[in-house]
Chain A
Amino acid sequence: MLVYLIRRLGQSALVLVVMAVLVFIGIYAIGNPVDVLISPEADLAEQQATIARLGLDRPLWEQLWLFLVNAVQGDLGRSFVHGVPALRLILERLPATLELALVALVVALSVGVFLGLWAGLKPDALLGRSIMTGSILGFSLPNFWLGLMLILVFAVLLQWLPAGGRGETVDLLGIRTSLFTLDGLSHLLLPAITLALYKTSLVIRLARAGTREVVLQDYVKFARAKGLSPSRVIYVHVLKNIMIPVVTVVGLELGSMIAFAVVTETVFAWPGIGKLLIDSIVNLDRPVVVAYLMMTVFIFILINLAVDLLYSLLDPRVRLSEAGA
């Protein structure tokens, strides 16, 4: 297990370096790095200082090395707009995005597994088919338009919920979260639903396909032959088996949730890293874009690792094959 972990961490570090090189090429090699990295408002002396600091007058491979060394030390440049280190800006906004993505993930998982299980148990019943047709709709509704319509209905017409922004937050272990105030939750609800809908449809499909396969297995019939109650058969024997593919896929989808939060955060003016990215792109605040990319890659790698570990926890067969290897 330890060997496996070390090997995986090594692979992850490699991917991170490769991504850093790609980002470097993307930002530094395309176009003039002086234009990209130095604020247009900076005066000549400031420009010279930055060129010297970033080593932009040196050969390309040396610049790459400097970029990597700086990145390892957490220096991903300074925001032109906010005048603070880009990484600090990202870290300040990160909790809001993670909060949104995690809540959406929980919603997608719980609702999706429940509906998918239902549709899988009764594939030909009206409700089962409606759930499947509904999931196609869930796939098809563009994220941003869904957000707009929710705002239109619940904020503009009914005036039940706020149209955007993040509500009141409390500090929990140094992290600001809106999960524990009514105002915070009311602000979180619509964005979370918006972000969750697509994944909910995905989970419904996975859970349904898994259920249809699992209920045909002998072990389900054997469980019934033991005289177990239907709820025990469904919620223990079937559910535990379908959770393996669902958790694997959905865990990996957390990464794309963070990416898709870009759209949701823009619609709901949610102050996370996604909105920061769009603002930075519009304002040509490139160091922040670079910092966002590096941070996202880092998070993706972490998620990948966590899902692999979770997978081996859920499926006893996986653990054995590793021990044997």
Chain B
Amino acid sequence: MARTAEPLLRVEQLETQFFTRAGVARAVDGVSFEVARGEVLGLVGESGSGKSVTGFSILGLVDPPGRIVGGRVLLEGENLVDAGERRLRALRGNRIAMIFQDPMMTLNPVLRIDTQMIEAVRAHHGVDRAEARRRARDALGRVGIPAPEERLSAYPHQFSGGMRQRVAIAIALLNEPAVIIADEPTTALDVTIQAQILYEMQKLCGESGTALVWITHDLAVVSGLADRVCVMYAGRIVESGPVDAVLDRPRHPYTAGLIGSVPSRNRRGVPLAQIPGMTPSLLALPGGCAFRTRCPNAEADCAAEPPAERRPEAGRTLRCHHPVGEAVS
């Protein structure tokens, strides 16, 4: 896919922390990545790895006690971290949109679909209601909702889960944003619906050149959809690179563990590999490398200091003292 020099969205050393009574949780701890026009970036991690908070941080939607404490989010060159609330509001839903995980919860149950779509258009464009409604209808048609005109007057509860997620996607697409952040939008859906929606998102973003950040815990989804992938663990990106390279030749033991725990037809009868232990609490991360307590390659130096980011090959990054496939010294 063609890449322009300046990425649409560039996240630099983003840090978001939650100031709770029990202590400070570093949910996002120095995350950097970029997405170009028309590109799909997969952001992969277990629950609690900070991937959703990263998404909310980009839009400036982190609620107290959470706060962005450092780094930059550059959308088409403009730093959103420094932008005021008014400016952020003008960009949200307009240049950068978000799709949430649970379609049953993202639409307001007491407002009709047209109300919820028209307000999204009119928040950013000075068009009349009829024009806004027309755009809403077109957007519903584009995401494959039959009889969009009639469906506009329906309430969310009259839609199935898959249809609701299509409505949410239609709302995200309404103002033709440059970037869409999709936070596990297919996790709550049936597998067949999931495939349809994945296919349509890919098509719609490809057509319009919208950059897509797809947050998921599902490597299978990433392998089919994304151009590049970032693997997150405990608030940090531990490995990133082109999706084929990372999935075929993982360097970080955590990535390798994730891949090993995906059931596969080719390995029937072989017990699934697991990553031992549990995701650590963000309030009590192990010192040094946060993964070392679960890592098969861990050595004494892993506890000493967190591994710095390095570039094992072009287009890839890695944070590990003892990567897979490197001789242990």
Contact = CB atoms under 8 A, between A and B. Distances in A.
A46 B271 CA distance: 100
Given A218-B100, A219-B106, A228 B119 contact: yes
A83 interface: no
Interface centre among A217, A219, A221, A225 (most CB of B within 10 A): A225
Contact of A222 (B100, B112, B123, B157): B100
A225 B92 contact: yes
Contacts of A236: 111, 119
A227 B124 contact: yes
B119 A226 contact: yes
A320 B155 CA distance: 10
A294 to B, nearest CB: 38
B123 A227 contact: yes
A232 interface: yes
Contacts of B91: 227
A218 B168 CA distance: 12
Contact of A228 (B59, B120, B155, B157): B120
Contacts of A315: 109-110
B208 interface: no
Interface string B102-123: 1001111111100010011001
A237 interface: yes
B157 A227 contact: no
Interface centre among A217, A219, A317 (most CB of B within 10 A): A219
B198 interface: no
A228 to B, nearest CB: 5
A223 B110 contact: no
Nearest to B117: A226
B110 A244 contact: yes
Given A227-B124, A229-B123, A320-B157, A222 B111 contact: no
B60 to A, nearest CB: 9
Given A221-B100, A237-B111, A226 B105 contact: no
Prevailing SS type, chain A contact patch = helix
Contacts of B63: 221
A226 B123 contact: yes
A58 interface: no
Contacts of A229: 89, 123
B123 A225 contact: no
A317 B155 contact: yes
A228 B123 contact: yes
A71 B158 CA distance: 47
B295 interface: no
Contacts of B112: 316
Contact of A314 (B90, B108, B110, B158): B110
Nearest to A316: B155
Nearest to B168: A222
Interface in A208-245: 217-229, 232, 236-237, 240-241, 244
A220 B112 CA distance: 15
A143 B67 CA distance: 46
A232 to B, nearest CB: 6
A232 B102 CA distance: 23
B109 A316 contact: yes
B81 interface: no
Nearest to A222: B106
Nearest to B94: A227
Given A218-B100, A224-B92, A229-B89, A316 B106 contact: no
Given A225-B92, A226-B92, A227-B94, A317 B119 contact: no
Contacts of B74: none
B107 A222 contact: yes
A220 B63 CA distance: 12
Contact of B107 (A219, A225, A240, A317): A219
Given A219-B109, A320-B157, 4 more contacts: A219-B105, A219-B106, A229-B89, A232-B119
15 contacts: A217-B105, A220-B108, A222-B107, A224-B61, A224-B92, A225-B59, A225-B92, A225-B97, A226-B171, A228-B123, A229-B89, A229-B123, A240-B108, A241-B108, A241-B109
Interface of B: 56, 59, 61, 63, 89-94, 97-98, 100-102, 105-112, 116, 119-120, 123-124, 155, 157-158, 168, 171
Which 8 interchain pairs have the tightest Cβ spacing? A227-B93, A226-B93, A218-B105, A227-B92, A316-B155, A226-B120, A225-B98, A219-B108
